[in-house]
Amino acid sequence: MQRTQITGESSVLSIREISSRGQFMEMNREWDDVLERCKDRNIFLTWEYLSTYWKHFGNGKRLRILVIEDTGNIIAIAPLRQSRYGSLGPLGYDVIEPLGYRGLTPEGADYTGLILTEREAECTELFMKHLLGDVSWDFMYLMDVPDTSKDPTLLASIARQLSLKFELERGAMCPYIPIPRSLDVFLNTLSPKFRKNLRRCMSNLEKNCGKVKLVKYDELGSIEESMQVFFDLHQKRWKLKRKPGVFDTQEIRDFYLDVAKRFANSGWLALYFLTVNDEPIATQYCFEYKQRMYYTLGGFEPNYSEYSVGNLVTLKVIEKCIEKGIEEYDLLKGGETYKSRFTAKYRSNLGIRLANKRLISNFYHYGIRTLKRTKMNRLLDKFGTRYS
């Protein structure tokens, strides 16, 4: 565990690096207390999520969690890892990344970022100076940082001070729904045609099939039982399309189940099912955290597709958000058509790229940019323009 210090305006900040899973596991009591004080907090920065991610997908990567203390109290955490890309030999390069970033793994966080509670600029500077004291990495790629975060502005400023090559790119769009006080108010935000279709589908479903109800996972049975129903409903749709679906492998099922168990213990699991006569026909795997509902994945029984049950379960979950006083229903990454039917509002994720000062790192940086520019120009030549 490495430690360095920096003297700020009011007191001395110290930084330590956590590099073992055992040390990471010991932080469970204090991690979320620090996150609670962070303005940029989200469910994917919790200890529960990140420790579960590392358990399942940490093999072959180096844990690099940086912790900053002010007079013994933790005020900032950088949940990072180091990954090797390109090659295992001398032609490969090492990248500092967010701990929960998907990268080459089959699953990962929709949002990443630094956990900063106070003295943000000083902490960001200390993070960077600590990392620059290590020559084992070439790039820092902080992908999927929400555009509402302070991180890009802080890192751009520090990069200028330290003469680092800095790039900022816009990533995935992330639609969201501000939750109003009543369902009627929400329905009036939808297009008249879509609103009419929702009402017609719900009426026909109740008329033709029976009693329609939204239930939470614990009304079906154990977490294991309800998650199996969720997996099955998700996979049925993809099997119909002759595609594997997210849960085609046991590895992914195990990860989602472990997240569900940990979130259930913390009161954050919002796994809902739309039922007809107590039979689950559609589902949404959501997280509820700090007055925000996060929608991750869903599924439905194809035999009920004529009733648009995927849309109906979304509507029912929004109604549940209204009942519970939830402020926002976050649809996470992706601009899929079904999301745009419910909202026109969205934020964007950002990607931050920094190159180390090492000569070889800058050589790689130049080579990667040249390759990217060449590929882009080959495409854009068809349209009479160029990428620079």
In a domain, 343, yes or no: no
**Is residue 144 located within the same domain as residue 202?**
no
**Is residue 7 located within the same domain as residue 136?**
yes
What angle is formed at CA 217 by the lines to CA 213 and CA 219, rounded to 5 degrees?
Answer: 65
- Which CATH number belongs to the domain containing residue 204 in this structure? 3.40.630.30
User: Is residue 1 scored above 50 in pLDDT?
Assistant: no
Please give the tally of structural domains in the chain.
Answer: 2
**Is residue 251 located within the same domain as residue 286?**
yes
Which of 215, 12, 45, 211 is CA-nearest to residue 4?
A: 12
What's the confidence (pLDDT) of residue 287? 98
In a domain, 213, yes or no: yes
CB of 246 closer than 8 Å to CB of 227: no
Residues 6+ apart with CB under 8 A from 174: 110, 111, 146, 330, 331, 332, 333, 334, 346, 347, 348, 349
What's the confidence (pLDDT) of residue 190? 97
Give the domain range for residue 288: 180-326
**Is residue 232 located within the same domain as residue 307?**
yes
**Is residue 116 located within the same domain as residue 184?**
no
342, β-bridge pairs: none
**Is residue 52 located within the same domain as residue 167?**
yes
DSSP-derived pairing of the beta strands 139-146 and 328-330: unpaired
Average of per-residue pLDDT across 49-58: 97
User: How many angstroms separate the CA atoms of 85 and 288, rounded?
Assistant: 35
383 versus 357: the higher-pLDDT residue is 357
Regarding pTM above 0.85, the answer is yes
In a domain, 336, yes or no: no
User: How many angstroms separate the CA atoms of 330 and 221, rounded?
Assistant: 27
68, β-bridge pairs: 15, 76
370 versus 73: the higher-pLDDT residue is 73
In a domain, 375, yes or no: no
Q: What is the pLDDT of residues 99-130, one digit of tens each?
A: 999 988 889 999 999 999 999 999 999 999 99
Average of per-residue pLDDT across 277-292: 97
User: Is residue 388 scored above 90 in pLDDT?
Assistant: no
Which of 111, 101, 96, 98 is CA-nearest to residue 44?
A: 111
In a domain, 377, yes or no: no
What's the confidence (pLDDT) of residue 366? 55
Which of 286, 279, 277 is CA-nearest to residue 314?
A: 286
User: Is residue 317 scored above 50 in pLDDT?
Assistant: yes
User: Is residue 370 scored above 60 in pLDDT?
Assistant: no
Q: What confidence tier does 371 reach under pLDDT thresholds 50, 70, 90?
A: very low
What's the confidence (pLDDT) of residue 239? 85
In a domain, 106, yes or no: yes
**Is residue 105 located within the same domain as residue 201?**
no
User: Is residue 95 scored above 50 in pLDDT?
Assistant: yes
In a domain, 161, yes or no: yes
Terminal-residue alpha carbon distance, the chain: 43
User: How many angstroms separate the CA atoms of 125 and 151, rounded?
Assistant: 11
User: How many angstroms separate the CA atoms of 31 and 74, rounded?
Assistant: 9
**Is residue 30 located within the same domain as residue 73?**
yes
**Is residue 129 located within the same domain as residue 148?**
yes
User: How many angstroms separate the CA atoms of 338 and 354, rounded?
Assistant: 35
Q: What is the pLDDT of residues 211-267, one digit of tens each?
A: 999 999 999 999 999 999 999 999 998 888 888 889 999 999 999 999 999 999 999
User: Is residue 364 scored above 70 in pLDDT?
Assistant: no
Q: What is the pLDDT of residues 179-203, one digit of tens each?
A: 999 999 999 999 999 999 999 999 9
**Is residue 10 located within the same domain as residue 144?**
yes
In a domain, 334, yes or no: no
**Is residue 114 located within the same domain as residue 68?**
yes
**Is residue 149 located within the same domain as residue 8?**
yes
Average of per-residue pLDDT across 142-162: 95
Which of 179, 187, 146 is CA-nearest to residue 328?
A: 179
What's the confidence (pLDDT) of residue 369? 57
